[in-house]
Structure 1
Amino acid sequence: MNKKITLNIQIASKKIIFLPKKCQYLIWIRSSLMHVYQSNIKVLIRIVEKSEIKSLNYKFRQKNKATNILSFSYINDKMIDKNYIGDLIICSEIVTEEAKKKNVTLESHWAHITIHGILHLLGYNHDNLNNRIKMEYLETKIMASLNYKNPYIY
């Protein structure tokens, strides 16, 4: 079944060195959904600066630091459109810093962060060793299917 993906992208950062094209996000999202049988998916990706993601991270996770991505899943929310799986908030500054530190391409790291976020929206997490192994396996498998290197070996 061909999944229709409705993707809204909000740019709320002026500090962007690299920004994937919408078609790239769609490829990464579609690849992350291959094992899910929903037909239509809606996702919001918001690109933000460190100050905004730090504020959101504190408000929703009580962590007073900036992070690369936050995922807000709405899959089980009965008040929201059943096809709207959630929001990804991505800090372009941190993604760029991490890519440099890991010596990987910006495109590859953006792909990994997007896939990682989509898996969170689908209910995967890395809160314990077993869950982390499952999630990292899926991320690595999806990345390989897109001809990217293992994101955990750098």
Structure 2
Amino acid sequence: MNKHSATELELDLQVACDNQHLPSAAHFREWVLTALPAGRQDAELTIRLVDEAESAELNAQYRGKNGPTNVLSFPADLPAELNLPLLGDLLICKQVVEREAIQQTKALLDHWAHIVIHGTLHLLGYDHINDDDAEVMEGLEIKLLQQLHISNPYTPQCEDSTQNHE
């Protein structure tokens, strides 16, 4: 039995960029489900695919950083007593993901998978602000990507893979 067979995922995929060469909705769904903990019953999130202008604007507004970034995560800030499955929103910049895949000599779909899993983990509360947290998060990413038959994204040629993200 698949670890996600009982997980109800409501995924709102918004395409606000050039839609050529994007992964399928099924890919995004698989990647989010892979990042969710086993036994999770329900999850809701939005993934918005954007161009560099929108990414740069929101990166400046919410993180105080110039330029576009690969992924921004906006966790839902709901009171626990509501017990709602809303995880939050991911904003992913198509051009940055494509450029990073080329720079890091990664297969484009593999890099998309990594960025979606990385962002979903942020929505679940993981972070990489300090070295210990980064080690935990990266280890989990490597494990989850291996389940998808994707190699370690933090190999030497890829060590800058998530340098400019949230």
TM-score, L = length of structure 1: 0.92
Structure 2 gaps, min length 5: 158-166
CA contact 1:17–1:96 (8 Å) conserved in 2: no
Q: Structure 1 residues 100 and 143 mapped into 2: Cα distance closer, same or farther (>3 Å)?
A: same
Partner of residue 123, structure 2: 121
2:47 is paired with a residue whose SS is: strand
Partner of residue 2, structure 1: 6
Q: Structure 1 residues 81 and 56 mapped into 2: Cα distance closer, same or farther (>3 Å)?
A: farther
Partner of residue 34, structure 2: 31
Cα offsets for 1:3-26 (capped at 9, x unmatched) = 110111111112x55211111111
Q: Counterparts of 1:3 and 1:51 in 2: how far apart (Å)?
A: 35
Q: Structure 1 residues 130 and 115 mapped into 2: Cα distance closer, same or farther (>3 Å)?
A: same
Aligned residues: percent identity? 36
The equivalences for 1:1-154 within 5 A come to 2-14=6-18, 16-35=19-38, 37-74=39-76, 76-78=77-79, 82-153=84-155, 154=157
CA contact 1:25–1:114 (8 Å) conserved in 2: yes
TM-score, L = length of structure 2: 0.86
Count of residue pairs brought into register by the alignment: 151
Matched letter for residue 25 of structure 1? F
Runs of 4+ in 1 over 3 A off after TM superposition: none
Q: Counterparts of 1:64 and 1:77 in 2: how far apart (Å)?
A: 29
Q: Structure 1 residues 131 and 6 mapped into 2: Cα distance closer, same or farther (>3 Å)?
A: same
Structure 1 gaps, min length 5: none
Cα offsets for 1:56-106 (capped at 9, x unmatched) = 0111111122100000001x4139871110100000000000000010111
Q: Counterparts of 2:13 and 2:45 in 1: how far apart (Å)?
A: 9
Q: Counterparts of 1:70 and 1:135 in 2: how far apart (Å)?
A: 16
CA contact 1:68–1:94 (8 Å) conserved in 2: yes
Matched letter for residue 78 of structure 1? P
Measure how far apart 1:38 and its partner are. 3.1
Cα offsets for 1:93-140 (capped at 9, x unmatched) = 000000000101110000000000000000000000000000000000
1:11 is paired with a residue whose SS is: strand
Cα offsets for 1:20-73 (capped at 9, x unmatched) = 1111111111111134x4311011000001110111011111112210000000
